[in-house]
Structure 1
Amino acid sequence: MVSKRGRIDTFVAKRLQIPKKMVRNLIVSEQIFIDGVQVLSADTQIDEFSLIECQGNVLQQRQRAYWMLHKPKGVVSATIDKQHVTALDLLTGVDRDLLHIAGRLDLNSTGLLLITNDAKWSQKLMAPESKVTKRYLVTLANPIDASYIKAFEQGMWFEYEGITTQPAKLTVLSQHQAMVELKEGKYHQIKRMFGRFQNPVIELHRESVGAICLDDNLDQGKFRALSVSEIHSIYTQTT
């Protein structure tokens, strides 16, 4: 999702259903303010979080929102879906305006899902150049061994995309469980990587994205706001 930027005269004209000429008159008469500062030019830029006031009335006042959701199985990572419960459906009592999901999980995967209305933040979080580490607990149908580790470290050729995956870290936890850490998110990447060994993934659970870890006290289907340190973590580190 792209941050919504635009001109102040366009916004006010649309919001008040008046011609832009009238907006310019309001600017000249010192009637429009952005974040408490008087607007001097019709082409002044605003975004979705600008506090906009006109003649003492608030036209826009939206706060940035950042949520952590413990996604259950059967919930789709989408804002609207006619067949399944969506992640946003679980955010009861929350203003859903402009909310979007930063890094999706497929229908049957569980774990950490990040939801925000801040497009710049989510773009920074998920951009390939940021190389943010995502950690997953994977349960497999067949036994795994040390040979998987080297294959994940070397990367795998994905013919559909025409790329070799970046090195991923695999830690064997037991015969049927492994921890996987990767810094990219190709389509069904983890399932496809284990598919090279003809070993179906039974369960896929995301534990962390960068320094943001799924809260141990958060039951499936529950959510909480991110802390200030969690929000800022994407700007201070990328692993």
Structure 2
Amino acid sequence: MRLEDILYRQGFGTRRVCAGLVQQGHVHVAGAVQTEAGALFDPQDLLFVVQGQAWTWQEKAYVMLHKPAGTECSQKPSAWPSVYTLLPAPLRQRPQKGAVQGVQAVGRLDQDTTGLLLLTDDGAFIHRMSSPKKHVPKVYQVTLRHPVSAQMVQRLLDGVVLDDDPRPVRAAACEPTGPSSLDLTLTEGKYHQVKRMIAAVGNRVEALHRSQIGGLHLPADLAPGQWRMLSAQDLALL
């Protein structure tokens, strides 16, 4: 594949911009400066450096982000900064079907909710992870205004009715972790679901943090606002 096409596919701008990066000596491959935009390389597992930043070829990008509070999972936020501003430009500019779309969030977290957020440009992956038919578990650490009771836990496991769906919504698991906190596991994602389920059992969410999706835990060394690419092992856990 031509080097300018490799950079374009990885989100470094239009083909003209990518050709300019190469011609101006801003791209290194295998430790050597490249100045020929048409130079051919096998992109598979190719490691290259653009303007001092190391990148590895990704046919599809899979990203985990530790979403901080006070951010929106929207590219056009209404009141709070977008989580997309926490990502480097190449991830936001990856082309899809001829248009610049970049990675997209796999589901959304409220602006005040923190924790594990996945982003990708793989539409099939988004569908698999978001579909309620796949029953992908998501674990939330919930801090409550009032104490946890055994009756509250049982009601969440048995199912509560939300105002937009007569079918009871059940927690896959519910484990108290303190006098006023619990871990809640869900396998579907409705609008404000955790907050509405907690309200339905007579309590209120004071803080909400997603710690796990499938078998993937939010890494302890990934600070709020930081991101990293998912490894093959991470994807297997999902």
**Could you state the TM-score of these two structures normalised by the residue count of structure 1?**
0.69
Check conservation: 2:104, 2:121, Cα contact below 8 A: yes
Check conservation: 1:166, 1:184, Cα contact below 8 A: no
- 3-state secondary structure, aligned to 2:228: strand
CA distance in 2: counterparts of 1:102 and 1:198, whole angstroms: 30
Amino acid at match of 1:225: M
- 3-state secondary structure, aligned to 1:198: coil
2:119 maps to which of 115, 119, 124: 115
1:213 maps to which of 214, 217, 229: 217
Q: Which residue of 1 aligns with 2:128?
A: 124
Q: Could you say if the C-alpha distance between residues 150 and 109 of structure 1 is closer, same or farther in structure 2, counting changes exceeding 3 Å?
A: same
CA distance in 2: counterparts of 1:212 and 1:122, whole angstroms: 16
Q: Which residue of 2 aligns with 1:75?
A: 71
1:145 aligns with 2:149: yes
Deviations 1:28-70 (A, max 9, x none): xxxxxxxx9xxxxxxxxxxxxxxxxxxxxxxxx9731011000
CA distance in 2: counterparts of 1:172 and 1:82, whole angstroms: 35
1:186 aligns with 2:182: no
Q: Which residue of 2 aligns with 1:86?
A: 82
Q: Could you say if the C-alpha distance between residues 94 and 164 of structure 1 is closer, same or farther in structure 2, counting changes exceeding 3 Å?
A: same
Q: Could you say if the C-alpha distance between residues 167 and 178 of structure 1 is closer, same or farther in structure 2, counting changes exceeding 3 Å?
A: closer
Amino acid at match of 1:155: G
- 3-state secondary structure, aligned to 2:236: helix
Once the two structures are TM-superposed, the CA of residue 80 in structure 1 deviates from its matched residue by 2.5
Amino acid at match of 2:62: Y
Moved more, 69-78 or 159-168: 159-168
Larger radius of gyration: 1
2:139 maps to which of 130, 135, 143: 135
CA distance in 2: counterparts of 1:167 and 1:84, whole angstroms: 30
Identity of aligned residues (%): 32
Once the two structures are TM-superposed, the CA of residue 125 in structure 1 deviates from its matched residue by 1.1
Amino acid at match of 1:70: H
RMSD: 2.0
Deviations 1:67-119 (A, max 9, x none): 10000111001123253211111012433133110021001000000010111
Amino acid at match of 2:237: S
Point out where structure 2 has 5 or more consecutive residues left out of the alignment: 1-14, 16-41, 43-56, 95-100
Deviations 1:189-225 (A, max 9, x none): 1111111233110100000110121111001011111
CA distance in 2: counterparts of 1:95 and 1:230, whole angstroms: 19
Amino acid at match of 1:76: E
1:155 maps to which of 153, 159, 164: 159
Check conservation: 2:73, 2:111, Cα contact below 8 A: yes
CA distance in 2: counterparts of 1:159 and 1:84, whole angstroms: 27
Amino acid at match of 1:125: M
Q: Which residue of 2 aligns with 1:63?
A: 59
Point out where structure 1 has 5 or more consecutive residues left out of the alignment: 1-14, 16-35, 37-60, 235-239
Moved more, 91-100 or 126-135: 91-100
Check conservation: 1:155, 1:168, Cα contact below 8 A: no
Amino acid at match of 1:65: A
